[in-house]
Amino acid sequence: MKNKRTAHIISHSHWDREWYMSFEKHRYYLVKLIDELLELFQKEPDFKSFHLDGQTILLEDYLEIRPEKREELKKAISEKKLHIGPWYVLQDAFLTSSESNIRNLLYGLRDAKEFGSVSKLGYFPDTFGIYGQAPQLLKQAKIETAAFGRGVKPTGFNNTVEDAKNFESPFSELKWESPDGSSILGILFANWYSNGNEVPEDEKDALSFWNTKIEQAMKYAATPHLLFMNGCDHQPVQHNLPAAILTAKKLFPDIDFVHASFDDYLKNLKASLPNELQTITGELRNQRTDGWSTLVNTASARIYLKQMNQECQALLEKAAEPLSVMAHLVGFEYPSHFLNYAWKTLMKNHPHDSICGCSVDEVHREMVSRFEKVLQITEMIVQEKGKEIASRIDTRIDNDSKTCIPIVIFNGSGSKREEVITKEVELEKIYFSEMDFQQIPAYFAGKSMPELEVSDSMGIAVPSVYHDKGIRFGYDLPSDGFRRPYFARIAELTFLAENVPQIGYKTYYVNQSENPAQFKQIDIMNHDREMENDFVHIKIHEDGSYTLTNKKSEKTYECLGIYENTGDIGNEYMFKNTLDSLPLTTKGLKAQIKVLENNSLRARVEMIHKWVIPKSADQAFEKEKRMLVWHKNRKASRSAETATIQIRTIMTLDQTSRGPSFQAFIENQAKDHRIRVLFPTNIQTDSHHADSVFEIVKRKNSPEIEWENPSFDHHQQGFVSMSDERKGLTIANKGLHEYEIIEENKTIALTLLRSVSELGDWGDFSAPEAQCLGENEAEWMVIPHSGDVITSESYHLAYQFQAPLTMIQTDLHHGELPKDNHFLEWNGPSLAMSTFKMAEEGDHVITRWFNTSDEKVDLKVNMPLVKQGFASNIIEEKLEVLQSNNIEIDLKPFEIKTVAWTH
């Protein structure tokens, strides 16, 4: 029968590694699940397949407990009974970096290959919205279909699917297109990924079940092929499913019920698709819903996790990997084993219930330990590879002196840097083997601090200041001997590093000089409340806000930096303001203002607010939580009792900086509230830009007509920007992923802290540590510019704000490398470079750029130490041969381009 319907029943269990229970408690049940599956595959030939949630990490988790099951597990996968991949973890898409999303796919595909088979389905069952470039990434990975539950259709309490007047697609099947035009088939779990869960075997129950389920599936199906997901969160396997399917076949002879895999389902579905499907372009963010269940505020739950993640990602992507490639190109081993370990450990924190901060406290305490492990191993890689490269640099100078100390500044960010750098240098060290360690401090105390001068590789002095940091214990760990303890005299140097290569290094020298070079000293602060360099002028007001003038465009921004506080009776997933009060602000609240540093290179000002706010929500809130009142229906107020919180803000302006940077230290003594910093731009525009995954996305300031939530928050990666054709203001950040555009004064509101008390979702799960009591930190930068963030290339400055430069102290020695050197040079307007690494397989270098604009761009690249370039893709295949090591290629609008290099 040509139009006979087929019910494809896919067994699965959506497996959050850690969520409402700790990882180990969830794993206990995972091991039982896979044990039962392997036994079922052997005993029940009609139980044909099981989809293992699209993430290969579950194999690692299982085999750590059951290593003896490896071959049996591998057999089930190779026979396509157990379907795995393509991801390593089911990550949150918006809160992990561009490169993290690719590594997640690379590691998942590699692990799946080891086990014999991979599910070529972009699986996003419960991801809290998806970035717009996902179709392009999947297409480059030769994955033509994605399946997802969120981003198009609203969900409510306990993930129940809700109806609404308008959807972005009338069908479960749709075309999903990236900004570059890449298009894949999208499968929306319109009735959620549990619509075929617990199929009854009893005829009476089955009749009722299937009558309802078939009607619901047909409502959104564009073909006769109906999808039923037989599973849910941590769902045990349904052993009697073959018998339940026989019951269904008996009751509904006009429908073909099959126990299917996604491979089977997609093959049949694609053969039956209509010629026209609805096309959805770009981000999936639930914009055509009431706005109450987007889960966007996971971007601000437990911000400390996001900050640690940003630090780990930046150190891996912009320091450890680039320095490892540089070292490899000059003859050293690439530490792939350590980098693999670091990436996998980091990605264990990337699942959507982990990095989102929406789990119980035990989960997030374990995450902090993982982040610390990543930082420790990555810092070791950076230091070792930096020292290896430095050992090959000819650091000798004409007037060699024992008091001349070479320091090498490494840049792996992909863009040329001009920065004021502050680093500590060991001026002199004495080993315990050279002097009784008890006498060394007295020896140093008897010597005055020498006059210091910093010069570049040409011997030209550069502006610098220094401070004596006293003596400090240290030790060397020689490769051929026992540890060597010492005391060292430490100086903190601040100096100007100019034209540090995009991927490369510059060598500077710290000299002890009786007559150091003199520079014209024009302090950045010319008044105790005013800062100025060549680019901006800043006037600080009594309440700690400031007026910022872009000297080039002469545009002035008034009253920046006010703090805002509101109640929050939501949960880790969603913000919900109390109904009883307007936001509190620090406008007019006098701050204690103190100048911490002021010279020609840098000025720093401290501003302290002591702010009285409500201590918590009132007692009605506790009752609402215990009664599982859905967050949008809560009506609690803020308490009459107050608490004093202190916010210590340090504003810094460097000589070369295009705008001020900020550190805020928030001593949080209150609960159930949110703190944001406000930037009224008064730029008349209906849209803005935000940094996303491989995209600077343009978003509307106001929501769609279906939106009811008074809050309209958004995700960001590195920055958010408001601009018109003439002027703009960009706010860069470190791990602050949530912002909102407030219509009044076209204000950018950046979330610094959100204090909540519960997990939320389907039950009563207390999470007191999500209140984030005690000291919290936040960092951001304010960048005024002409034009928008792309045409002004201010996005480079925002990316640099997140990416560390590395300094390695070395000694005077012979070497084959020049004092200043680049390993790669490139240019191309509107382009951004995202990676410089070695391939996961094979001995070739991988570089990647993406086009931030809607116009074609010419990319020119020179790699002096390689032989040949190849066009590649995100899975690092060698495709078209390019010109030798000096290439010129086009990037289409919004295209992601990978180039592989042999050497």
Rounded to an integer, the average pLDDT of 422-432 is 95
CA distance 265 to 261: 6
The 10s digit of each residue's pLDDT in 629-669 is: 999 999 999 999 999 999 999 999 999 999 999 999 999 99
Q: Output the pLDDT for position 252.
A: 97
Structure tokens at 528: 């105790």
Rounded to an integer, the average pLDDT of 598-616 is 97
Neighbours of 26 (CB within 10 A): 18
- The mean pLDDT value of the chain amounts to 94
Q: How many helices (H) and strands (E) does the chain have?
A: 15, 45
CA distance 114 to 99: 23
The helix (run of H) or strand (run of E) holding residue 122 is strand 122-124
Q: What is the dihedral of CA 846, 849, 850, 852, to 10 degrees?
A: 160
List beta partners, residue 485: 475
Q: Output the pLDDT for position 161.
A: 56
pLDDT over 80 at 581, yes or no: no
Residue type, 389: I
Q: What is the dihedral of CA 468, 469, 471, 473, to 10 degrees?
A: -150
Rounded to an integer, the average pLDDT of 210-230 is 95
**Catalytic-role residue among 16, 61, 92, 126:** 126
CA distance 228 to 375: 43
Per-residue confidence band for 221, with pLDDT thresholds at 50, 70 and 90: very high
Rounded to an integer, the average pLDDT of 256-278 is 94
pLDDT over 60 at 166, yes or no: no
Q: Could you give the 3-state DSSP secondary structure of residue 527? A: strand
Rounded to an integer, the average pLDDT of 873-878 is 94
The strand ranges marked E within 289-416 are 405-411
List beta partners, residue 555: 550
pLDDT over 80 at 532, yes or no: yes
Q: Output the pLDDT for position 154.
A: 57
Q: Are 580 and 686 in contact (CB under 8 A)?
A: no
Q: Output the pLDDT for position 1.
A: 44
The alpha carbon of residue 485 and the mean position of all alpha carbons in its chain are separated, in whole angstroms, by 39
pLDDT over 80 at 170, yes or no: no
Q: Output the pLDDT for position 158.
A: 57
Rounded to an integer, the average pLDDT of 257-278 is 94
Which residue segments constitute the domains of the chain, with CATH numbers given?
5-289 (3.20.110.10), 301-389 (1.20.1270.50), 405-520+805-809 (2.60.40.2210), 528-802 (2.70.98.30), 828-903 (2.60.40.2220)
Q: Are 483 and 432 in contact (CB under 8 A)?
A: no
Structure tokens at 824: 């790669």
The 10s digit of each residue's pLDDT in 661-711 is: 999 999 999 999 999 999 999 999 999 999 999 999 999 999 998 899 999
* Cα torsion angle, 20, 25, 29, 30, sign: positive
Q: Output the pLDDT for position 2.
A: 56
Rounded to an integer, the average pLDDT of 229-248 is 97
Per-residue confidence band for 526, with pLDDT thresholds at 50, 70 and 90: confident
Rounded to an integer, the average pLDDT of 782-808 is 96
Q: Could you give the 3-state DSSP secondary structure of residue 11? A: strand
The 10s digit of each residue's pLDDT in 456-472 is: 999 999 999 999 999 99
β 405-411/122-124 pair status: unpaired
- 126 is known as an active-site residue: yes
Structure tokens at 165: 């007047």
The 10s digit of each residue's pLDDT in 330-354 is: 999 999 999 999 999 999 999 999 9
Rounded to an integer, the average pLDDT of 381-400 is 92
Rounded to an integer, the average pLDDT of 308-331 is 98
Spatial strand order of the sheet with 844-851 comes to 831-838, 844-851, 896-902, 868-872
Indicate the pTM of the whole model.
Answer: 0.96
Q: Output the pLDDT for position 517.
A: 76
